[in-house]
Amino acid sequence: MASLAPASFGAALTAAHDASGAQHYPQGTLYVVATPIGNLADITLRALHVLQLVDTLACEDTRHTQSLLRAYGIDRPNARLLAVHQHNEAEAAQGVIARLVQGERIAYVSDAGTPGVSDPGARLVAAVRSAGLRVLPLPGASSVTTLIGAAGLVAEGGDGSAASAFVFAGFLPSKAGERDAAVQGLAQEPRAVVVLEAPHRIEALARALAVLGERRVTVGRELTKQFEEIATVPAAALPDWFAADRDRTRGEFALVLHPVAVDDGGAAEGERVLRLLLAELPVKTAVKLAAEISGAPRNALYETALRMRKDAGDD
């Protein structure tokens, strides 16, 4: 996390009040607040206002959150901080619900980024919503969207249009066999895929991803921090890329597998075969066989099949 003196945010706190103070903040509501993933300046004005406003602040780590608040010049007594983390989330959620029923405003923050995205928070939100209480999200920093925005995800081949879809896989399994199996699954996914990893496992992940060969991978290391590094290399070259500089294995990581290059010939053949099969077979069966025959991506063929059926119904 970047180090900035509390006084640096005095104007920001005033701006937060001026910009957000007149908005409506209902009582009995859980506010899910995104916090910076590194650079403290990546906080929203509305987040600053809500962190000052709420009655209780639920957080993944009370000590970490207290340090964050002090960096912004926000003074909250420890008694108003409530620990809600992966080991107690289900139980702690009941305490949060009890406070909400009493009309409290409660904010939840994880250590960094958006709660519930490879961080605690999802179980808490589910429990609060199941109790019929309101959840109000405050968007902000996320390593997922940060890296997607810097990766330049353009499908190679075809018309060169940007790849609009991606899959978020989060942290892959830590055990080698399970991780390798997960990578084999990702190899069948034609869309971009975002994965996260910790420094002590990044080299093992690099070796596992190397089987993807020439598929491009963008590595985001220490995103938004002082030593941020973003590089795109073929998957097969990942182990050597990390080995070339030991500093590259330090920090927190997000990686994005670029979309599979489009093969115009394979796509055209897949559509031709699919059209023939749809005349005789159900959609799922036709898609499965067309993918096996042509090598075209199954997901793309499935969307094509639905479009063909819709067009046929409109005639």
**123-136 tens-digit pLDDT:** 999 999 999 999 99
Instruction: Tell me the per-residue pLDDT of 164-200, one tens digit each, with 9 for 90 and over.
Output: 689 999 999 999 999 999 999 998 888 999 999 999 9
- Is residue 103 classed as helix, strand or coil in its secondary structure? coil
Lowest mean pLDDT among 221-230, 232-241, 290-299: 290-299
Q: What proportion of the chain, given as a percentage, has pLDDT over 90? A: 76
Q: What is the pLDDT of residues 32-64, one digit of tens each?
A: 999 999 999 999 999 999 999 999 999 999 999
Q: Where are the domains of the chain?
A: 6-138, 143-257, 264-314
Q: Stretch 16-35: mean pLDDT, rounded?
A: 97
CATH hierarchy code of domain 6-138:
3.40.1010.10
Cα 309 to chain centroid distance, Å, stands at 34
Pick the CATH number of 143-257 from 1.20.810.10, 3.30.950.10, 3.40.50.300, 1.10.240.10: 3.30.950.10
Is 215 within 8 Å of 258 (Cβ atoms)? yes
pLDDT at 266: 60
Rounded percentage of the chain residues whose pLDDT exceeds 70: 91
Q: What confidence score (pLDDT) does residue 160 get?
A: 46
How far apart CA 43 and CA 37 sit, in angstroms, is 10
Encoded tokens for 144: 């997922």
The pTM for the full model equals 0.79
**pLDDT for 135:** 98
Is residue 228 within 8 Å of 221, Cβ to Cβ? Answer: yes
Question: Which of 253, 240, 190, 231 has its CA nearest to residue 210?
Answer: 240
Q: Report the residue count for the chain.
A: 315
Contact 190, 196 (CB under 8 A): no
Work out the burial of residue 257: count CB atoms within 10 Å of its CB; fewer than 13 is exposed, 13-18 middle, 19 or more buried.
buried
**Model confidence at 265, in pLDDT bands (50, 70, 90)?**
low
CA distance 199 to 183: 18
From CA 266, how far away is CA 294, in angstroms rounded?
Answer: 6
